[in-house]
Structure 1
Amino acid sequence: MRPPTSSLRFRPVSIPLSGSLCSFTSCLNHHYSRRHRYASWNSAVEIRAYHNQTPVHDPLKILYLGRDEFSCLVLEELHKAQDVWQELVVVTTPDAKVGRRGSKLTVCDALKTLGQHLSLPVHFVPPGKGKDVLKTWQLPPPFPEPGSAPPLSHIIITASFGRILPNSVLNLFLPNRRLNVHPSLLPAYRGAAPIQHVLLDEQKETGVCVIEMMERVKGIDAGAIWGQERVAIPEGADYADLRDVSAQTGGKLLVSVLRDMLSGRATSQPQAENPAAPRAPLITTADAVIDFETMTAEQITRRSRAFSHQVSQTPRNSLKSERTLQLHSPTVHVDSTDVLAQLPAPGTAVYDRTVNSLLVRCASDTVLSVPQVKQQDRTLLKAKDWWNGVRPELRLTGGDEGPVQFLRPALTEP
């Protein structure tokens, strides 16, 4: 029998490392290949299921909102816990037109694909991203229309949904039936990109909270905490590593909180207010700009692990070219003594055949190794192929092997 939850749970969870990133918009086959890859983590993130609790409420009718692989992994845990729900309705963002003048329709929405695979009803919010888009949104059945009294069995849950719900939606649910799964130890890293900023700040520990959603004027990610789990971050973890284990942990934690609610044992605690707590604003193109004069190779590599799935890091590719160059999969080059002799200043680079990478001098006499690059309006290339295509006049010295100079681009926000 589970002891009464008079206080929140704080249990450390460790993360194994992986070697590759996974796109937010992965299709179902790729999503399941990653799921099996992380199957060995289950013992590390297992949160006990207390099926022997006696429910005092009927199973819930859940409106679940999300859009990406974080929300997919949370949904998988929720779907397996069929003792906590009688209806589970998925809501995600609509298919979007991409390509030149919207010539193509992308349908590879991770949550949509998973919901259909699980035979769950899948609905879409209205198209558009304005703050008023959701104000007139009619929730799918069985959820009530405006003016109806919120039933105790109805609950709305968001996980990486990417949009702030207006009062017109929140008010259709009781205050303790509005939950969000947030991947940080709140109040630290409130905002849209907690996983990225935790990695950028070299934190050794993070976590997941199940919190109550409040009206926007009362604060973003500032609601009462219904449950919390800690997650240890090993050196070298990237965004995909931390996203997946946080989502699995968050899904199990969510199920535990819902079981507590059904048994009448759930309790919440208000968040402590800490003005000094770090924030987690959206990652922008400005965050991806590399300045080799002020950033070390380790700092650039850490930024790549944190948000290269979102925006690729970009210097300008030479003194005489205006095209930008994205750096893919950078690492720190350890044996840098001989290389530094070839590179007169931060931002200069040569190709090294022994490691099949561009080597770039960075701040504090560190060297960055870059195996792949993507020049503006071109396809992704191996560093060797790009290097062989650099014209002699774009090099600092003549010939086909002279170094090039990277500059900091003057990028503006879209």
Structure 2
Amino acid sequence: MLLFPSLLFFGSDNFSAKVLNQLLIKIKLINNNNNKNNLIAIIPAISHKGRGRTSLYQPPLLTLVQSLGLPHQSLPRTARPLTDWQIPDEFKQSDTVLVSASFPYWIPRSITTQVGSHRALNVHPSLLPRYRGAAPIQWQIANQEHETGVSIQTIGHHGFDSGIILSQKLIQLSPTTTYHLAEQSLANLAAELLVDLIPNIDSYIASAWPQDSSKASYAPKIGPLDLRIDASWSASKVAARSRGMSHQYPLNIQINGEVYQIQVELPDSPEAREFGSRNQARLAVADPGELVLDRAQDRVGLRLIDHSPIPTTTTTTASTSNNNNNNNNNENQNSHPPPPPPVLIITKAKLVRAGGKGWLAPLAWWDRLFNTAAPHQPDTSQPKKSLKTFRVHIDHPRVVSP
């Protein structure tokens, strides 16, 4: 058993709960009642959310500590809940360490100085100074990073995520990972770093290093607009946004000023490949950002930007008929039909506005798009409006909803 100092753990969400749970497993606090008093969790209180604020939100960290019977305190849901909060007397010791992970409030200097500025730590799931901010895991996946990691820093008072780094470790980020998989891997890594750092914190303080703010990048909070697809998005960008962010908000598109949330099959899925094969000719002439309906399958495909190299052919003038025949045979052997353009399969769509009719299957959604499209103007050269010739494009990204 490691000699573990008293620990104040500040957190709230799933990431902080996973970090604490893995830390408890590693230091065997869960099964040793004599050591449970070494730790207390500080957590925001249960709050109301949703339309009309009628549903209750219980922080996942609160659920964890209640299930384990660990000491904890819930803070009031105010703008500055730590203003009048005091560290419990039994934790006012020289060896106490404060650790925060995904804690939604600024921890003031009046608290960190009570444990010592270098003993008030923050767990950040990125390789600082890169991806400072509220959503580092999401943006690293969305930006298709190949590496990520965990940084253990001091809680600075000159800006979020700008503290001195005591420990940092890199791991690889799979191109097909999702937010939840990355979150678990990074929580495991954070616990691995903390279980060695906390009992040996003085040696880590002695070798700590400052961040180079000139290399900083930022990971702001996620909003619905971060998942608003436009015609410039590639298949890889759509997939990365979905894998990194769609646990918070669904992908969405805008058509004629109306926003639709969409349920999808990603461009690299078997469903998308099958759709592409069935509709290859239509997709080949469709514009990026155009919707293509497959009535037989009741599916809509969103044509995406194709970033694959365009195949080129070279011709050689043969000096004899035999050479010409050989060239033809080689061309036949080496030529392959081009792959279908990348496509995002839309399996359901929902209009985002009051009075919307809920999720619509593709055929019903297509009929709605047709019925709400601008009517044919007889004095123009536009073809007469009909389902057979009807074409739908998502809006330019600068178009905003009314």
Report the TM-score, using the length of structure 2 for normalisation.
0.74
For 2:15, the equivalent position in structure 1 comes to 70
Matching residue within 269, 283, 287 for 1:340: 283
Structure-to-structure mapping, 1:103-122, within 5 angstroms: 104-122=54-72
Q: Indicate yes or no: 2:45 matched with 1:94.
A: yes
Distance 1:176 1:407, change over 3 A: same
1:218-269 Cα deviation digits (max 9, x unpaired)? x32122222222211112112111111111111222112113238x676442
Assess, with a 3 A threshold, how the Cα gap between structure 1 residues 392 and 272 changes in structure 2: closer, same or farther.
closer
Alignment-derived partner of residue 395 in structure 2: 407
**Are residues 154 and 361 of structure 1, via their aligned partners in 2, closer, same or farther at CA, if it must alter by over 3 Å?**
same
> Residues 142-188 of structure 1, C-alpha deviation per residue, up to 9 Å, x if partnerless?
367xxxxx522222111111222122222222122201111011122
C-alpha distance in structure 1 between counterparts of 2:115 and 2:265, whole Å: 47
Instruction: For residue 115 of structure 1, report the CA deviation from its aligned partner.
Output: 0.9
Give the corresponding residue for 1:198: 140
- Counterpart for residue 98 of structure 2: 156
Matches within 5 A, 1:9-28: none
Pair 390,258 (structure 1): closer, same or farther in 2 beyond 3 Å: same
1:312 corresponds, among 214, 228, 250, to 250
Q: Where in structure 2 are the equivalents of 1:359-374 lying within 5 Å?
A: 359-364=301-306, 366-374=342-350
Question: Residue 327 of structure 1 aligns to a residue in which SS?
Answer: strand
Query: Is it true that 1:244 corresponds to 2:184 in the alignment?
Result: yes
Read off the aligned partner of 1:394 and give its amino acid letter. Answer: T
Does 2:238 align with 1:291?
no
1:175 equivalent in structure 2? 117
Please give the root-mean-square deviation of Cα atoms over the aligned residues, in Å.
3.0
Identity of aligned residues (%): 26
1:376 is matched with which residue?
A: 352
Q: Give distance in 2, aligned partners of 1:312 and 1:137.
A: 39
Distance 1:385 1:313, change over 3 A: same
Q: Give the match for residue 323 of structure 1.
A: 258
Whether the aligned pair in 2 keeps the contact of 1:358 and 1:383 (CA below 8 Å) is: no
Structure 1 residues 125-150: Cα deviation after superposition (integer angstroms, max 9, x where no partner): 2213x3xx145231352367xxxxx5
CA contact (8 A) 2:349 2:365 kept: no
- Check the 8 A contact 2:125/2:136 in 1, yes or no: yes
Give the aligned partner of residue 39 of structure 1.
Answer: none
Change (3 A) 1:161 1:329: farther
1:124 is aligned to: 74
Structure 2 gaps of 5+ residues are 30-34, 307-340, 375-384
**Between Structure 1 and Structure 2, how many residues are aligned?**
340
Instruction: Tell which has more relative contact order, 1 or 2 (C-alpha 8 A, sep 6+).
Output: 1
* Structure 1 contact 61–85 (Cα < 8 Å) conserved: no
Within the candidate set 382, 386, 397, 1:398 is matched to 386
Gaps of 5+ in 1: 1-50, 145-149
Cα distance in 1 for partners of 2:90, 2:248 equals 34
Partner amino acid, structure 1, of 2:237: Q
- TM-score, normalised relative to structure 1: 0.72
1:383 CA drift (Å): 4.1
The answer to which structure has the higher helix fraction is 2
Query: 1:387 and 1:239, CA in 2 relative to 1: closer, same or farther beyond 3 A?
Result: same
C-alpha separation in 2, matches of 1:351 and 1:119: 54
Alpha carbons 2:129, 2:215 under 8 Å: kept: no
Structure 1 residues 140 and 178, CA gap change in structure 2 (3 angstroms): closer
Structure 1 residues 349 and 261: alpha-carbon distance in aligned structure 2, compared to 1, 3 A threshold? same
> Corresponding residue for 1:136?
83
Q: Is the 8 A contact 1:352 1:358 kept in 2?
A: yes
Per the alignment, do residues 105 and 303 of structure 1 end up closer, same or farther by CA in structure 2, a change over 3 Å counting? closer
